[in-house]
């Protein structure tokens, strides 16, 4: 198996840039998990900054549906270019959206999607770098949706970290190697 690396960090910690810097190959498959929202120019500008920073030789795949990411990782071969997934927190938002977790339970659908993702990370044959937000170090959210997201992302991060060879936390732009 090729090494799997998880890069965690808070907002504006430098986690995406750090993850990008881990891959020096000319060709990389960049998996963008963020959904695009109509009439949200700020979100479009954030996505554009990420796109502009990537080398032109990198291939971008948009995996905005929850099933897209595990399917892509499961289909990899050893000779495939490295894969950078940015990021698991936006992937999870899609999972919570599709499970209608914001309005109700959806626990079974969320568990199924998370299990599928963790299995696909564990068996991915290409070099894999995953980016995710670390949300367990801050204030307890005051809303149900905030707590729901924080709790599910914390659990997802822990499960993915279990199957990764390397785990790095970015704090104030400084990488701290956890494993």
Catalytic residues: 50
Measured distance CA(50)–CA(43) in Å, rounded: 11
Contact 156, 114 (CB under 8 A): yes
CA gap 76, 160 in Å, rounded: 18
Q: Note the maximum CA span of the chain.
A: 46
- Residues 6 or more apart whose Cβ sits within 8 Å of residue 82: 2, 23, 25, 28, 29, 126, 127, 128, 129
CB-hemisphere CA count at 13 Å for 56? 0
Separation CA 98–CA 92 (nearest Å): 10
Q: Where are the alpha helices (DSSP H) in 54-106?
A: 68-74, 88-98
Q: Where are the alpha helices (DSSP H) in the chain?
A: 15-22, 41-53, 68-74, 88-98, 107-123, 144-162
């Amino acid at each position: 198996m090729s090494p799997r690396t998880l890069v965690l960090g808070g907002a504006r910690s430098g986690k995406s840039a750090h993850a990008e810097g881990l891959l020096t190959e000319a060709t990389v498959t960049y998996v963008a998990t963020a959904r695009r929202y109509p009439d949200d120019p700020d979100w479009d500008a954030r996505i554009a900054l990420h796109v502009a920073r990537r080398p032109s030789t990198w291939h971008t795949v948009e995996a905005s549906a929850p099933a897209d990411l595990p399917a892509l990782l499961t289909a990899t071969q050893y000779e495939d270019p490295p894969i950078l997934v940015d990021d698991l927190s936006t992937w999870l938002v899609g999972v919570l959206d599709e499970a209608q977790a914001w309005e109700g339970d959806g626990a079974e659908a969320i568990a199924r999607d998370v299990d599928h993702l963790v299995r696909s990370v564990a068996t991915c044959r290409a070099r894999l770098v995953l980016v995710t937000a670390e949300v367990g170090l801050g204030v307890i959210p005051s809303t149900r949706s905030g707590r729901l997201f924080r709790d599910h992302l914390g659990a997802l991060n822990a499960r993915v970290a279990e199957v990764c060879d390397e785990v790095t936390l970015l704090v104030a732009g400084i990488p701290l190697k956890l494993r």
